[in-house]
């Protein structure tokens, strides 16, 4: 399979952005070392009333590489219970137009 794009919007309660950014930083630092990782960028909504104030967009070599990385015991231990604090909605996408 060819490269895939992860789009992962995060729900963040008002006043909780600093903790959400720290959570993302830890997860991203870990995933950058995973086989198949290509790149990642975190986006902040310009409007304060956006349902998803933070959106992660990442490229992976394949869906299998992404699944292996986030399914690893090390990643699960790193994110642990904190993942529930920032509900997120990840999905993988294939590029169909550029």
34 φ, ψ to 5°?
-80, 145
Residue 94 pLDDT > 80, yes or no? yes
Q: Which domains does the chain have, with CATH numbers?
A: 4-93 (3.30.70.100)
User: From CA 61, how far away is CA 31, in angstroms rounded?
Assistant: 13
Residue 1 pLDDT > 80, yes or no? no
Residue 67 pLDDT > 80, yes or no? yes
User: From CA 68, how far away is CA 47, in angstroms rounded?
Assistant: 34
Contact partners, residue 75, CB within 8 Å, separation at least 6: 27, 30, 31, 69
**Three-class SS of residue 82?**
helix
- What does the pLDDT look like over 30-41, one tens digit per residue? 999 999 999 999
Identify the weakest region by mean pLDDT among 16-20, 53-57, 71-75, 79-83.
79-83
Helix/strand/coil (H/E/C) assignment for every residue in 7-37:
EEEECCCCCCHHHHHHHHHHHHHHHCCCCCE
Q: With residue 41 as reference, give the H or E element that holds it.
A: strand 37-44
């Amino acid at each position: 399979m060819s490269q895939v794009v992860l789009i992962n919007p995060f729900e963040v309660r008002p006043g909780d952005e600093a903790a959400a950014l720290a959570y993302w930083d830890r997860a991203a630092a870990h995933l950058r070392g995973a086989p198949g990782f290509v790149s990642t960028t975190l986006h902040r909504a310009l409007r304060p009333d956006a349902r998803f104030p933070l959106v992660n967009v990442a490229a992976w070599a394949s869906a299998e590489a992404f699944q292996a990385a986030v399914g690893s015991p090390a990643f699960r231990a790193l994110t642990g219970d904190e993942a529930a604090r920032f509900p997120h909605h990840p999905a993988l996408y294939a590029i169909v137009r550029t």
